[in-house]
Amino acid sequence: MTYLVGIADPIHASGVAWLEEQGARVVQGEEAIGPRLAELDALIVRSRTKVTREVLERAVRLKVVGRAGVGVDNIDLEAARARGVMVVNAPQATTEAVAEHTIALLFAVARSIPQADASMKQGKWEKKRFVGVELAGRTLGLIGIGRIGAAVARRARGLGMQVVAYDPYLNPEAIRERGAEPVASLEDLYARADVVSVHVPLTEETRGLVGRDAFARMKEGVILLCTARGGVVDEEALLEALESGKVYGAGLDVFAQEPPGATPLVTHPRVVATPHIAAQTREAQARVALDIAQEVWAALTGGELRWRVV
């Protein structure tokens, strides 16, 4: 049987080639989510395309939606479940890339690297302006310690940082095995952490999780990092905390609305902002394309699924 696979958002050519080698017909871009939608057996998306109830209702032949990455908040999971459409993702391929980007943002904030570089490019030599903070000996607090959180923990320990973590889905021993000291609550984490890094998916439970109350409980001069999902951090509350000085600086790769535009938060002098690129390495994108291609093909052909969400 020949399957028609739609790829709505660009993925690495290796994934496309692998599907075609299996005998799949592939359509890409607007054609996939538009005129050919009703013919698709499978749909692959990244974070840009929203797989809404309406999309699923129009995709009458659809058997599986594949998310080339981790988060599935852009897919209506309940609608997929109701229509008997499987949802799979590729959660492992981008772990190292996102962890590295998290640490890169931490250094960038702690040492004002983007601001110093911009100053140099203007012909200035503002040595006294850019006095940073050291990371060795400080405490990193991880909100969530799944694959990415654990990878961040390993890197932070290599920098001489202490690592604590809160994750209600893991027991204390599992958190220790992932390289962090468990804490009993977010309040405990906020009280101890010099740096808070967010590594949880966006759900109704986590939306706005890091808000005014959270910032009020954090230490003075805390650094906030988020490479998880926009919406977990209350951006208005974060801006207030930056203005008050409660937050020393923030490194943000994700935003509640993407692209956010030149908002007061994005343009704040103590914010390092990147356009959702934590997973954007050559190596990670090649891995994720092949992983999701293989997972979608397994769903279509009755193979064993490694990462089924619905």
The residues assigned a catalytic role are 229, 258, 276
d(CA 165, CA 183): 6
Q: Say if residues 219 and 247 touch (Cβ distance below 8 Å).
A: no
Q: How far, in Å, are 13, 114, 288 from residue 96 at the CA level?
A: 21, 22, 12
Only one residue has tokens 């904030």, namely 109
